[in-house]
Amino acid sequence: MSFPDGLLLVDKPAGPTSYDIIRWIKPKLGGAKIGHAGTLDPLASGLLIVLIGKATKRQDDVMGSDKIYRCRLKFGVRTDTGDVTGRTLETSAAPAPESERVWRVISGFAGDHMQTPPMYSALKQKGVPLYKLARQGKTVERQPRPVAIRWIEPLDASGDEASFRVRCSSGTYIRSLVEDIGAAVGGGATMSALTREAIGSFTIDRATPGDRLRQLDADALAQTVLPLEAAFA
């Protein structure tokens, strides 16, 4: 069969990499080109947009869109990766911050910022992803970049944990935002969970669960593709 050009909206579970999702799908495409718009770390879950056929030429259009995330963080600890999968660098013996202070600090991050990309990211230097260099114990200079937090909404804060939702510009690293929040509250913080809920107008409620993709044959998979014309109408 000739696989349709378009977008496949995937609800990625925590655990597999974005490339794992591609590997599950690619053998069913009959040779059609495939790519994705925006890497999700193994820890992260949520919306991953897979581009098929001619849709791969629209990668920049999709990746340049705002994103919406739901994030959970843990106060009093810093790790080398910026999330709970990493090696602990520092812990704080200070009492858990008061929830009112946490809410005030998180809300205060709305607006424009300069943000330094983390070493554990897919950003490339001389063609090599930074996370590969970080795994080799290397650190390279990264230039701060402008990012925009369109809005940020605290959801809860209790003890040494808190969660929030945020809409941000393309290129914003949530793990870096979490570390900045931890520094502002005092005692540090690291990300414990992350879900991407939307990329531009594409939302997670329209996505196919990633685990289900492995069970679909080529015909069934083709039925889940959002046609190119409809996606960019």
Q: Which of 41, 112, 205, 219 is catalytic?
A: 41
Sequence-ordered list of residues with C-beta below 8 angstroms from that of 83, at least 6 positions apart, any chain: 41, 43, 175, 190, 191, 192, 194
Q: Does 117 have pLDDT greater than 90?
A: no
Tell me how far apart the alpha carbons of residues 168 and 174 are, in angstroms, rounded to a whole number. 9
Per-residue model confidence (pLDDT) at position 1: 58
23-45 mean pLDDT: 92
Per-residue model confidence (pLDDT) at position 126: 82
Q: Does 131 have pLDDT greater than 90?
A: no
For the segment 62-88, what is each residue's pLDDT rounded down to a tens digit? 999 999 999 999 999 999 999 999 999
Per-residue model confidence (pLDDT) at position 153: 97
Q: Does 233 have pLDDT greater than 80?
A: no
Sequence-ordered list of residues with C-beta below 8 angstroms from that of 188, at least 6 positions apart, any chain: 75, 76, 77, 78, 90, 92, 179, 182
| pTM of the entire predicted model | 0.93
Q: Is 160 in the active site?
A: no
24-53 mean pLDDT: 93
For the segment 137-169, what is each residue's pLDDT rounded down to a tens digit? 888 888 899 999 999 999 999 999 999 999 999
| pLDDT band (50, 70, 90) for residue 193 | very high
Q: For all residues of the chain together, what is the average pLDDT?
A: 93
Q: Which percentage of the chain shows pLDDT scores above 70? A: 100
206-216 mean pLDDT: 92
